[in-house]
Chains A and B, each alone.
Chain A
Amino acid sequence: MADKAKIREFILEVAQGRGIESVNDDESLTENGIIDSLSIFRLVSFLEDNFGIRISDEEIVNENFQSVNSIESFVAEKQSKKAAVQR
């Protein structure tokens, strides 16, 4: 859950930069303009730096970045795959 809080905090900061005060976990980040062509890559670097994962260009798609919830489950899945490989 700590991961989710971190993601939420980062998204909220981006949202505030776009003039949006609060973001629900299941709210679409693409439709309300929180994620735009600039912030998407800031978000990707943030996730890579903070969660020890590598995100390929092919994975930067709507499905994985639609909401705080989908980002969280995408990150969790990446981490569990990585853990499986390391075991």
Chain B
Amino acid sequence: MAYLLQQLLSKSAGKHPDKPAVWARGRSLTYRELEERSNQLAHLLRKHGVQKGDRVGIYFPKTVESLVAMFGVLKAGGVYVPLDPQQPAQRIQYIIDNCAIRALVTTRDKLRGLDPAAIRSVQFSVFIDGANGEATSQGISWAELANFSSSAPPEDLQPTTLDLAYILYTSGSTGRPKGVMLSHQNALTFIEWCAEIFQIQPEDRLSSHAPLHFDLSVFDVYNAIEAGATVYMVPDDALLFPATLAKFIAEKEISVWYSVPSALVHLILHGNLKAQNLERVRLMLFAGEIFPIKYLRQLAEMLPSVELYNLYGPTETNVCTYYRVDRAQLPNMEKIPIGRACGNTEVFAVDEQQRLIQPGQTGELYVRGPSVTNGYWGDPEKTHKMVVPNYFQTHYEEKMYRTGDLVVLREDGDYDFIGRRDNQIKSRGYRIELGEIETALLSHPGVKEVAVVAIPDEEVSNRIKAVVAAHEGATLTAAHLQQHCAQRVPKYMIPDVIEFRETLPKTSTGKLDRVLMAASR
């Protein structure tokens, strides 16, 4: 039984050395190549000073080297931090500084976009691109890997399953992203459950649609590797153009798909699926937001033999509940449940008096088990708010995670998701704290007051609207403020609409009237 993520790779490399492990951008790596190169990278990182527990950033567009980097960092005893190459430099610099990233695996181009003064924790970078011998004082070329042993990873580390494996940064309500710390055990709890329930086989071909900083990618990568299967990274143009995506699924003979529902909705509406042979698809998983039932029905009709599963779980728990779509029930269903607890996981919901809810009642969902995070990097305060003592366990100390998600317990034992307790929203599956956008807007000197609200949207869950009151004398335009946001938050968090008011509407208690602002156009 594997207790470290990299053991999944070593095991499959022993069994299927010549099978492709990963395909991306027209290139693939066999299991042997992935195993050997990640061993070499691990030795290289160690030689240049990476110690057990050090954070290493992975900062380049998804490709086959992404897996070399992930496994190489783990084998070096490090903790990898996927950095989205599409996010503004300021946010990336914040993350690098926040968890004191010691080394980057990156491209020359991406590194040039960062301000050296803002990333002082970084001692060196390894470049996946470029010609040999171009090494600078801080940069090591990929060709250097050849100088290190490929036969085994470093052995002097005494790793345990409780060690951190990776940190995923998500939107933070106080204006800064927060780093969810995930251990080998956290990830393996989910991966082993998936391996069993979805029976991933060496013949399977898994798509990788989600970016690596998004926890959906954990399944794609590690369950492919666990099974000795192949993971296919979805090309950039297929991410944008549904007809191209449909062709990709058919041509690569993808058998297992996992993405946010909005990607599937686009595929249903514009992918011209009928023109493609999708017979090889056997399993489709989706997570991250609610799948609108009318589109789910269409998907089920278009792919009559595919098993469909709704997975649910905040990054802090990876996935904690699942629901297998019952095709017979689909015509009568009003919404799709998030289902019940995954293996090795317990979920329950409590009301405001902290009593367990009964069927038909609403409560906040809590999660306990080995998939639950230790908390947020460098933020004990936020950690204590969300990873709390399990007060149902009176004999010894134990933690559980409060999701902030409101659910209803159904008579059949499944849960329905009904909303949030706070200002977190989902858009295209991305988790967004409206407070982070408000902070970005308020940092503009001309902005006096701001409220960011979500406008529900069937295809992408939510669109984002900002209502802004300017300081006297300040002339602000929507385009100018959007530009201001673009330097601070990811593109999917830039408000689609910015509306100007002299003052913001308040409720009778003096709070911002978000309901009114969301309704007005």
Are A and B subunits of one complex?
Answer: yes
**Complexed CA–CA distance, A62 and B275 (Å):** 19
Interchain CA distance A17-B464 in the complex, whole Å: 12
Interface residues of B in 365-412 (CB under 8 A from A): none
Q: Do A58 and B272 touch across chains, with their CB atoms under 8 A apart?
A: yes
Instruction: Take A20-B486, A33-B491 as given contacts and tell me if A58 and B237 are in contact as well, using a CB distance cutoff of 8 Å.
Output: no
Indicate whether B333 reaches chain A with its CB closer than 8 angstroms: no
Query: B496 to A17, Cβ gap below 8 A?
Result: yes
Asked if B270 and A36 make an inter-chain contact with CB atoms under 8 angstroms apart, the answer reads: no
The CA-CA distance from A19 to B243 in the complex, in Å, is: 28
Contact with B along A7-22 (1 / 0, CB 8 A): 0000000001111110
Are B272 and A57 in contact, CB atoms less than 8 angstroms apart? yes
* B 256-281 binary contact with A (CB < 8 Å = 1; else 0): 00000011001000111001000000
Using CB atoms, name the residue of chain B closest to A19.
B486
Q: Which among A16, A21, A33, A58 is the interface contact of B243 at CB below 8 angstroms?
A: A58
Q: Is the interface of B mostly helix, strand, loop or mixed?
A: helix
- Any chain B CB within 8 A of the CB of A5? no
- Contact: A62 with B86, CB < 8 Å? no
Chain B residues, CB < 8 A from A41 = 270
Categorize the interface residue count of chain B.
Answer: 20 to 34
Q: B483–A16 contact, CB under 8 A?
A: yes
Given contacts A30-B236, A30-B237, contact A19 B242 (CB under 8 A): no
Contact A17 B272 (CB under 8 A): no
Closest to A33 in B: B491
A84 within 8 A of partner (CB): no
Contact of A58 among B236, B275, B460, B478 (CB under 8 A): B275
Contact residues of A between 45 and 85, Cβ < 8 Å to B:
56-58, 60-62, 65
C-alpha gap A37/B461 in the complex (Å): 13
Query: In this complex, what residue of A is CB-closest to B272?
Result: A57
Residues of chain A contacted by B478 (CB below 8 angstroms) = 16-17
- In the A-B complex, the 6 residue pairs with the closest CB atoms: A19-B486, A16-B479, A62-B237, A57-B272, A19-B483, A57-B270
Interface residues of B (CB under 8 A from A): 86, 236-237, 239-244, 262-263, 266, 270-272, 275, 428, 460, 478-479, 482-487, 491, 494, 496
